Amino acid sequence: MKFDVMTLFPEMILEYCNFSIMKRAIDNKILDINTINPRDYSLDKHKKVDDTPYGGGAGMVLMVQPYIDCYESIKKAENSITIMLSPQGEPLNDSLVNNLSNYEQIILVCGHYEGFDERIREIIRPKEISIGDFVLTGGELPALCIIDAVSRKLEGTLGKLESADEDSFANGLIEYPQYTRPREYRGLYVPEVLLNGNHKEINKFRLKESLKRTKQKRPDLYNLWLNRQK
């Protein structure tokens, strides 16, 4: 899968992807991360990419010309989607991540500090995605959230020991409690059931704990799970 990230700060994207599981997936050719900087497409003699808003008001607005010329320079695969990171977008969740993992190419449009000239949206017609109801200084972190979450769904990204179908949300529930050595720490013990090797009992315990936690911490997800069982 290829990600093309339009950003004024390409190093932010590339640096994150240069570590751990992301780096391994890139080295193994499962992933290709490319950045394109709209500043390189600015026709302004000072390489300007933003300007003051028509109608007045605080802040600056990202200019249509550098963003559109940058966007049009990207070679589009047949099965590709363009996403703009924005608090106005559809909230990111596990099912959206699964859908995105089926594309051959994902183009991510990041802004920074300021809003986009509305004509960028009108011309590109991107899908807009939000990572939550709060305001960030730029779209780079949300873009990385999408790159990271989608990448770990791709075959071969996670090793056997990091399987994606056992974590939170694989079954719509949050994770059961986990333990490793030692069996006792400051008087706190690992539950007996995990020590006896009875995998039927262990799975029963884990499901019960997942349900208990989800009901208590995320009643919204618990109700979705209940409805799915019908």
Q: According to the binding rule CB under 6 A, does residue 132 interact with ligand 4HQ?
A: yes
User: What is the pairing mode between strands 105-109 and 80-91?
Assistant: parallel
Selected binder of ligand 4HQ within 71, 139, 206, 214 (CB under 6 A): 139
What is the residue-wise DSSP string for 171-183?
A: SSSPPPP---S-S
Report the nearest approach of ligand 4HQ to the CB of residue 127 (Å): 12
53 binds ligand 4HQ (CB under 6 A): no
By C-beta, is 53 or 138 nearer to ligand 4HQ? 138
Measured distance CA(203)–CA(216) in Å, rounded: 20
Query: How is residue 117 written in tokens?
Result: 């000239």
- Count of helices and strands (H, E) across the chain: 8, 10
Task: With CB under 6 A as the rule, give the number of residues binding ligand 4HQ.
Answer: 14
Determine the Cα–Cα distance for residues 119 and 108; give it in Å rounded to an integer. 17
Least separation in angstroms between CB 151 and ligand 4HQ:
18
| Closer Cβ to ligand 4HQ, 86 or 101, answer by number | 86
What's the angle, vertex CA 144, arms to CA 141 and CA 149, rounded to 5? Answer: 130
Per CB under 6 A, the list member of 5, 100, 131, 147 interacting with ligand 4HQ is 131
Site for ligand 4HQ in 63-92 (CB under 6 A): 85-87
Copy the structure tokens of residue 59.
Answer: 């802040």
Q: In this structure, are residues 73 and 24 in contact, taking their beta carbons and an 8 Å threshold?
A: no
Contact segment (CB under 6 A) with ligand 4HQ among 24-32, 42-50, 128-136, 160-168 equals 128-136
Name the residues that contact ligand 4HQ, by CB under 6 A. Answer: 85-87, 111-112, 130-132, 134-136, 138-139, 142
